[in-house]
């Protein structure tokens, strides 16, 4: 989305951020608020001099454990939550970004854009959306005028309304891909697991057709989400990975994976996504005997670690088969369809 300023007073105030045609350049705004990252970093560094940033509650305490600035305009806060009763600690990552709030919902999303009427109703009830700066144009050095539409606040509200079993389903999937699969890199190949946003989107897609009314039975929902993601990765209709956003169906969250035919690294990540989902599916049957009230990260970690050695072997075999294929062809040229690509690595 592009923003054009018409108000003369605002044009004067934002003179450093707009061009001669009145369009706002988001990248210039990002440069002007880099102080945000500096402030957060100062707070974190102050802890080393005996001034810890800690929030105390009845159930536990929250501590600032780190700050990362690796992808503008986001700054990532690393928070550490420690419970009072058990003394357990959990790391929480939070992205902070400067944004412009807009209230003209119809300028951003229509009912035809959304996955269904319920999603659109949530967007309308919230009454606003956020615009964050796009990245610098790849084609030239001038800053980009594009702003990205963010409905993060609506998404959080929707997730909070999930049933307990679907919240656990998402958390276990996220734990698996963020804590376990991050170890699956080998010999120059860095595996980037499925993002938490893709997992969250898959759970919300599943919610539309979920027929499981038993709050104590979670494994069937997990398997359904895994099958949905596997189908999205090997979409026969489009012959490329397709995962629609719940807010804008035409926005494909797997767009970067669509370059699998020309990018060896992306092709290998696609294969590893499928392998990890298949392994997770094989673990789901073990969750069927665990009541939802007993789910915890420690029990999941034990179950996941029991199969990690198999996945360690798989990643090496996948890389070996990829190198054999590249050497035989003389260059990287993936198969025509995702299905063929996955078949090529079948059995690894």
Tell me: the pLDDT tens digits for 146-193? Answer: 788 889 999 999 999 998 889 988 988 887 887 666 677 766 677 788
Q: Is 168 left (phi over 0), alpha (psi -120 to 50) or beta?
A: alpha
- Which tokens in the block code for residue 255? 């767009």
- The Cα 216–Cα 252 span in angstroms is 33
Whether 34 shows a pLDDT value over 80: the answer reads no
Are 67 and 37 contacting, i.e. CB atoms less than 8 angstroms apart?
Answer: yes
Residues with Cβ within 8 Å of residue 261, at least 6 apart in sequence: 267, 333, 334, 335, 336
In 3-state terms, what secondary structure has residue 58? coil
- Count CB neighbours of 49 within 10 A: 7
The mean pLDDT of 69-85, rounded to a whole number, is: 77
pLDDT of residue 16: 74
Q: Is the pTM of this model over 0.85?
A: no
Whether 141 shows a pLDDT value over 50: the answer reads no
pLDDT of residue 137: 47
The mean pLDDT of 134-140, rounded to a whole number, is: 51
- Which tokens in the block code for residue 187? 């010999």
How remote is the C-alpha of 316 from its chain's centroid? 26
Per residue in 248-293, pLDDT tens? 999 999 988 887 777 778 888 888 888 888 878 877 776 655 545 5
Are 156 and 283 contacting, i.e. CB atoms less than 8 angstroms apart?
Answer: no
Cis amide linkage into residue 73, ω under 30° from 0? yes
Average pLDDT, the chain: 77
- Which tokens in the block code for residue 273? 């996504």
- Which tokens in the block code for residue 209? 């057709």
- The Cα 348–Cα 274 span in angstroms is 11
DSSP annotation of 246 reads S
pLDDT of residue 138: 47
Percent of the chain with pLDDT over 90: 17
């Amino acid at each position: 989305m592009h923003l054009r300023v018409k108000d003369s007073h605002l044009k004067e105030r934002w003179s450093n951020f707009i061009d001669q045609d009145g369009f706002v350049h988001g990248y210039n705004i990002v440069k002007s608020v880099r102080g945000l990252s500096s402030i957060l970093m100062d707070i974190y560094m102050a802890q080393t001099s005996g001034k810890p940033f800690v929030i105390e509650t009845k159930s536990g305490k929250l501590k600032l454990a780190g700050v990362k600035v690796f992808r503008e305009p986001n700054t990532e806060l690393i928070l550490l939550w420690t419970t009072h009763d058990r003394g357990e600690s959990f790391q929480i990552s939070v992205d902070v970004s400067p944004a412009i709030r807009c209230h003209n919902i119809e300028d951003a999303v229509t009912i035809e854009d959304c996955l269904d009427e319920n999603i659109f109703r949530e967007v309308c009830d919230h009454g606003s959306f956020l615009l964050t700066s796009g990245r610098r144009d790849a084609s030239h050095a001038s800053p980009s005028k594009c702003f990205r539409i963010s409905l993060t606040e609506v998404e959080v509200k929707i997730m909070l309304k999930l049933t307990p079993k679907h919240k656990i389903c998402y958390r276990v999937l996220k734990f698996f891909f963020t804590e376990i699969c991050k170890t699956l890199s080998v010999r120059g190949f860095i595996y980037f697991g499925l993002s938490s946003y893709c997992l969250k989107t898959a759970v919300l897609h599943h919610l539309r057709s979920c027929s499981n009314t038993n709050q104590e039975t979670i494994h069937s929902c997990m398997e359904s989400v895994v099958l949905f993601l596997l189908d999205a990765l090997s979409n026969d209709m489009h012959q490329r990975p397709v995962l629609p956003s719940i807010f804008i169906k035409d926005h494909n969250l797997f767009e970067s994976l669509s370059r699998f035919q020309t990018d060896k690294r992306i092709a290998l990540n696609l294969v590893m996504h499928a392998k990890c989902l298949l392994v997770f599916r094989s673990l789901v049957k073990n969750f069927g005997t665990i009541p939802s009230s007993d789910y915890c990260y420690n029990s999941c970690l034990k179950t996941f670690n029991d199969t990690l050695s198999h996945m360690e072997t798989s990643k090496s075999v996948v890389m070996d088969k990829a190198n054999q294929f590249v050497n035989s062809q003389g260059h990287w040229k993936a198969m025509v369809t995702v299905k063929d690509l996955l078949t090529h690595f079948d059995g690894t």
